[in-house]
């Protein structure tokens, strides 16, 4: 990046710095407790504290890209302005009319939000903290109390930046068990108001109190007043609440009178429309810093402005965004509230940040470690993944991801590692000598291997004589054994419902298809790797201890690799072999199977812990309310 010689007179540079400074203020700008803060001064301090760092440079880069993207949007809008958009206006109006038909004003939805939750929990144990500015979380603030917010401190802010804003800031370490236990107390109270309440996070929940209000002949305001009083009396936690016709509005309303307040928006179309008309777009859940800027650029500052520019929106931002924004303009949202467990999980993943790291061996050790972390999570959640995704963040803060579809759904560390190594290798080829600050693995396209009662809940029954529970085996080991047995198939019998059978059939077909896909993908990688020249060895890092040529007995290609890498290559080659055989079996075509070669077991690597874990384990959040 070229540091532009910035003269104060260059308006473009000034604008860029303004947008960058705004971006550096962080995503939680709209949070409460910032009303009387001199944002100009705060942003100046943050800017100066960050200037010159790699983080800053990356932010600057992102800001420039966004500015360029916005210029494109504006150019496109200018083109559109030359055209006759009567058709687009009519289309938008038709859509608005149709959405209007879905308006439901019969429900009372509540969003509750515990005020500075972690900080409040800490204050209960250490009352002296109430009087001083303090934050929870050290490297990065997860939250802070209202004293600290007066200085401009916010969640997501780097600890050292917060210290610049507020030198007397006290930083308290996270204690997740404490927050989980406290949240459970809150849960036990709100369940009386809606047994099917939906927890949105550890400190937030949606309730539908329509029935509660009619059963108890009480107004929504009074019911929520009572709920908040009860929560405060029994848990000493203050909460803020929003009451409205749907979840989207309730969420906005809970921010209205924070902290320790509530706000009701009447279930009245005119009232709702008037409320949305003046509401800044950023207040809506789903509109963040980027979309806010993009909308602002075309003239949309409030949800009311959306209507004015309705003829441009779908062409500039896409159909999904169009529908979403029209719903914002109209103040529409879902009225359905349901327990979080009833939502289907889409992925399981883990990632961690560490001091800059490079070198083949180190990176593979870290990958191995990451794979083992993910195995734990897969066992905990009882899923296997059909797709595996590797994520890295370079020392420059640039993020890249690569994914593969293994020949079968996987969850064991050995498999996770085996199938992610080629992705790492590929990245190393793309970015020679890359230095990483983060590595992560994630499984998607999940396949459940859930325990009996859960399966029963979803319409499966257990086959007789397959009870896997034995109380004298540790939990972890039990989960693994269950997974192993389930691996062999035939554990679960679908209740004879045609739909389920159809589903299973489709799944089998998909499995076959995915195996073929994987095969062609792997071969594609091969072609790329050996494209043109004959096996060009990677430029080796100086810190790699072994440098030798080996011939792979399976693919017969020469490999430059340490013994460890060579073993990895053999593992991969073997897995390809397995796929080929499987494809041959099903298709009846292809070459005869080769002889298989036993592969050496990878030696376990002892790991020096370079990790600088600054936050607690957010995975534990998922244990709450479920």
Partner DNA sequence: GCGGATCAC
Partner DNA sequence: TATGGTGATCCGC
Interaction with DNA in 414-473: which residues (CB under 7 A)?
437-438, 440, 442
What whole-number distance in Å separates Cα of residue 533 and Cα of residue 575? 25
Chain-centre distance for alpha carbon 39? 29
Residue 200 in contact with DNA, rule: CB under 7 A: yes
Residue 301 in contact with DNA, rule: CB under 7 A: no
Residue 157 in contact with DNA, rule: CB under 7 A: yes
Tell me the closest approach of the beta carbon of residue 50 to DNA, in angstroms: 3
Question: Out of 292, 375, 415, 428, which residue is the one contacting DNA (CB under 7 A)?
Answer: 292
Q: Cis omega (within 30 of 0) on the bond before 527?
A: no
Taken in order 583, 585, 590, 594, the sign of the CA dihedral is positive
* Beta-carbon contacts of residue 385 (< 8 Å; ≥ 6 apart): 347, 348, 378, 409, 410, 411, 443, 444, 445, 446, 447
Minimum CB distance to DNA smaller for 469 or for 510: 510
Do the Cβ atoms of 408 and 517 come closer than 8 Å?
no
Distances (CA, A) of 491 to 26, 211, 463, 467, 468: 49, 41, 6, 10, 10
Distances (CA, A) of 483 to 457, 468, 476, 515: 19, 10, 11, 21
Minimum CB distance to DNA smaller for 60 or for 554: 60
Question: Out of 149, 251, 310, 564, which residue is the one contacting DNA (CB under 7 A)?
Answer: 251
What whole-number distance in Å separates Cα of residue 412 and Cα of residue 385? 10
Residue 198 in contact with DNA, rule: CB under 7 A: no
Question: Out of 285, 429, 466, 584, which residue is the one contacting DNA (CB under 7 A)?
Answer: 285
Residue 339 in contact with DNA, rule: CB under 7 A: no
Q: Which of 21, 14, 83, 71 is nearest to 51 (CA)?
A: 21
Question: Out of 517, 523, 524, 563, which residue is the one contacting DNA (CB under 7 A)?
Answer: 517
Question: Out of 126, 131, 156, 195, which residue is the one contacting DNA (CB under 7 A)?
Answer: 156
Minimum CB distance to DNA smaller for 386 or for 569: 386
Q: Which long-range contacts (CB under 8 A, 24 or more apart) does 140-147 make?
A: 140/614, 140/615, 141/171, 142/118, 142/174, 142/615, 142/616, 143/116, 143/117, 143/118, 143/119, 144/116, 144/119, 144/169, 145/116, 145/119, 145/120, 146/33, 146/116, 146/259
Tell me the closest approach of the beta carbon of residue 604 to DNA, in angstroms: 22
Do the Cβ atoms of 427 and 403 come closer than 8 Å?
no
The pairing of strands 170-172 and 134-136 is parallel
Do the Cβ atoms of 153 and 225 come closer than 8 Å?
no
Strands in 198-201's sheet, in edge-to-edge order, are 198-201, 204-208, 109-114, 239-244, 262-264
User: Of 305-313, 501-509, 514-522, 588-596, which part binds DNA (CB under 7 A)?
Assistant: 514-522
Residue 388 in contact with DNA, rule: CB under 7 A: no
Question: Out of 18, 79, 104, 160, which residue is the one contacting DNA (CB under 7 A)?
Answer: 160
Over the range 156-182, which residues count as b (16 or more CB within 10 Å of their CB) and which as e? ebbbebbbbbbeebbbbebebeebbeb
Distances (CA, A) of 360 to 13, 397, 565: 41, 20, 9
Residue 258 in contact with DNA, rule: CB under 7 A: no
What whole-number distance in Å separates Cα of residue 102 and Cα of residue 549? 68
Minimum CB distance to DNA smaller for 310 or for 442: 442
Q: Which of 204, 230, 398, 511 is catalytic?
A: 204
* Beta-carbon contacts of residue 103 (< 8 Å; ≥ 6 apart): 269, 330, 332
Residue 43 in contact with DNA, rule: CB under 7 A: no
Tell me the closest approach of the beta carbon of residue 377 to DNA, in angstroms: 6
Question: Out of 139, 259, 359, 452, which residue is the one contacting DNA (CB under 7 A)?
Answer: 139
Residue 290 in contact with DNA, rule: CB under 7 A: yes
User: Of 14-22, 209-217, 290-298, 563-571, which part binds DNA (CB under 7 A)?
Assistant: 290-298
User: Of 177-185, 402-410, 468-476, 552-560, which part binds DNA (CB under 7 A)?
Assistant: 402-410
User: Of 189-197, 300-308, 595-603, 612-620, which part binds DNA (CB under 7 A)?
Assistant: 612-620
What whole-number distance in Å separates Cα of residue 292 and Cα of residue 421? 39
The pairing of strands 347-357 and 436-448 is antiparallel
Total residues contacting DNA by CB under 7 A comes to: 79
User: Of 11-19, 202-210, 534-542, 550-558, which part binds DNA (CB under 7 A)?
Assistant: 202-210
Minimum CB distance to DNA smaller for 53 or for 597: 53
Minimum CB distance to DNA smaller for 165 or for 272: 165
Residue 140 in contact with DNA, rule: CB under 7 A: yes
Minimum CB distance to DNA smaller for 345 or for 463: 345
3-state secondary structure of 403: strand
Token pair recorded at residue 448? 């459940």
What whole-number distance in Å separates Cα of residue 426 and Cα of residue 547? 19
User: Of 97-105, 300-308, 327-335, 342-350, which part binds DNA (CB under 7 A)?
Assistant: 342-350
Minimum CB distance to DNA smaller for 380 or for 462: 380
Q: For the chain, give the number of residues.
A: 626
Subset of residues 105 to 124 that bind DNA, contact rule: CB under 7 A: none
Residue 387 in contact with DNA, rule: CB under 7 A: yes
Residue 350 in contact with DNA, rule: CB under 7 A: yes
User: Of 82-90, 150-158, 571-579, 592-600, which part binds DNA (CB under 7 A)?
Assistant: 150-158
Catalytic status, residue 292: no
Residue 575 in contact with DNA, rule: CB under 7 A: no
Minimum CB distance to DNA smaller for 515 or for 565: 515
Minimum CB distance to DNA smaller for 564 or for 621: 621
Token pair recorded at residue 75? 């150019």
Phi-psi bin for 207: left (phi > 0), alpha (psi -120 to 50), beta?
Answer: beta
Residue 403 in contact with DNA, rule: CB under 7 A: yes
Do the Cβ atoms of 292 and 302 come closer than 8 Å?
no
Tell me the closest approach of the beta carbon of residue 515 to DNA, in angstroms: 12
Strands in 383-394's sheet, in edge-to-edge order, are 347-357, 436-448, 383-394, 399-404
User: Of 241-249, 268-276, 339-347, 574-582, which part binds DNA (CB under 7 A)?
Assistant: 339-347
Residue 402 in contact with DNA, rule: CB under 7 A: yes
Question: Out of 108, 142, 235, 562, which residue is the one contacting DNA (CB under 7 A)?
Answer: 142
Tell me the closest approach of the beta carbon of residue 499 to DNA, in angstroms: 21
Residue 45 in contact with DNA, rule: CB under 7 A: no
Subset of residues 52 to 71 that bind DNA, contact rule: CB under 7 A: 53-56, 62, 65-66, 69
Residue 487 in contact with DNA, rule: CB under 7 A: no
Q: What angle do CA 201, 103, 326 make, to 5 degrees?
A: 75
Question: Out of 25, 46, 561, 573, which residue is the one contacting DNA (CB under 7 A)?
Answer: 46
Tell me the closest approach of the beta carbon of residue 119 to DNA, in angstroms: 14
3-state secondary structure of 513: helix
**Catalytic residue positions, numbered:** 204
């Amino acid at each position: 990046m070229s540091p532009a010689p910035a003269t104060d007179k260059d308006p473009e540079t000034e604008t860029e710095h303004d947008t960058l400074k705004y971006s550096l203020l962080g995503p939680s700008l709209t949070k409460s407790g910032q009303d009387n803060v001199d944002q100009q001064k705060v942003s100046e301090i943050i800017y100066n504290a960050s200037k010159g760092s790699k983080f800053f440079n990356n932010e600057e880069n992102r800001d420039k890209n966004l500015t360029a993207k916005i210029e494109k949007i504006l150019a496109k809008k200018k083109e559109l302005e030359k055209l006759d958009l009567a058709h687009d206006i009519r289309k938008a109006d038709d859509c608005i009319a149709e959405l209007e038909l879905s308006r439901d004003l019969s429900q009372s939805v509540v969003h509750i939000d515990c005020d500075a939750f972690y900080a409040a929990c800490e204050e209960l144990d250490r009352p002296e903290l109430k009087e001083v500015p303090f934050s929870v979380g050290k490297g990065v603030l997860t939250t802070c109390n209202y004293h600290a917010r007066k200085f401009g401190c916010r969640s997501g802010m780097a600890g050292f930046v917060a210290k610049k804003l507020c030198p007397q800031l006290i930083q308290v370490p996270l204690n997740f068990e404490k927050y989980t236990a406290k949240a459970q107390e809150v849960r036990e109270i709100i369940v009386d108001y809606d047994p099917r309440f939906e927890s949105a996070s550890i400190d937030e929940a949606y309730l539908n109190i329509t029935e509660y209000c009619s059963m108890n002949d009480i107004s929504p305001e009074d019911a929520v007043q009572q709920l908040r009083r009860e929560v405060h009396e029994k848990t000493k936690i203050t909460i803020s609440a929003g009451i409205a016709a749907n979840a989207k509005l309730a969420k906005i309303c809970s921010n209205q009178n924070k902290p320790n307040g509530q706000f009701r928006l009447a279930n009245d179309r005119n009232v709702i429309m008037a409320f949305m008309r003046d509401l800044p777009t950023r207040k809506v859940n789903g509109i963040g810093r980027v979309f806010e800027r993009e909308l602002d650029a075309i003239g949309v500052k409030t949800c009311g402005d959306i209507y004015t520019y309705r003829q441009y929106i779908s062409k500039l931002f896409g159909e999904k965004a169009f529908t979403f924004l029209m719903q914002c303009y109209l103040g529409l949202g879902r009225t359905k509230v349901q327990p979080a467990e009833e939502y289907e999980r889409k992925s399981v993943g883990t990632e961690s940040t560490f001091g800059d790291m490079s070198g083949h061996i180190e990176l593979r050790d870290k990958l191995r470690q990451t794979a083992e972390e993910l195995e734990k999570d897969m066992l905990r959640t009882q899923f296997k993944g059909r797709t595996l995704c590797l994520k890295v963040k370079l020392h420059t803060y640039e993020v890249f991801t690569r994914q593969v579809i293994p020949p079968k759904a996987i969850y064991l560390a050995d498999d996770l590692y085996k199938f992610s190594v080629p992705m790492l290798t590929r990245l190393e080829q793309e970015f020679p000598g890359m230095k990483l600050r983060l590595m992560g693995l994630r499984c998607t396209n999940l396949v459940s291997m859930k325990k009996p009662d859960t399966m029963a809940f979803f319409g499966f029954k257990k086959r007789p004589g397959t009870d896997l529970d034995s109380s004298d085996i540790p939990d972890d080991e039990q989960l693994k054994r269950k997974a192993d047995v389930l691996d062999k198939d035939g554990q679960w019998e679908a209740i004879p419902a045609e739909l389920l059978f159809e589903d299973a059939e489709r799944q089998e077909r998909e499995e076959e298809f995915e195996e073929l896909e994987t095969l062609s993908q792997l071969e594609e990688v091969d072609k790329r790797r050996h494209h043109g020249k004959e096996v060009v060895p990677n430029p080796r890092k100086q810190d790699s201890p072994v440098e030798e040529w080996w011939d792979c007995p399976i693919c017969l290609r020469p490999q430059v690799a340490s013994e460890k890498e060579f073993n990895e290559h053999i593992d991969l080659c073997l897995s390809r072999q397995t796929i080929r055989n499987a494809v041959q079996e099903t298709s009846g075509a292809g070459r005869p199977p080769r002889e298989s070669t036993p592969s050496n077991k990878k030696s376990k690597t002892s790991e020096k812990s370079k990790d600088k874990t600054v936050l607690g384990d957010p995975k534990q959040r998922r244990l709450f309310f479920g």
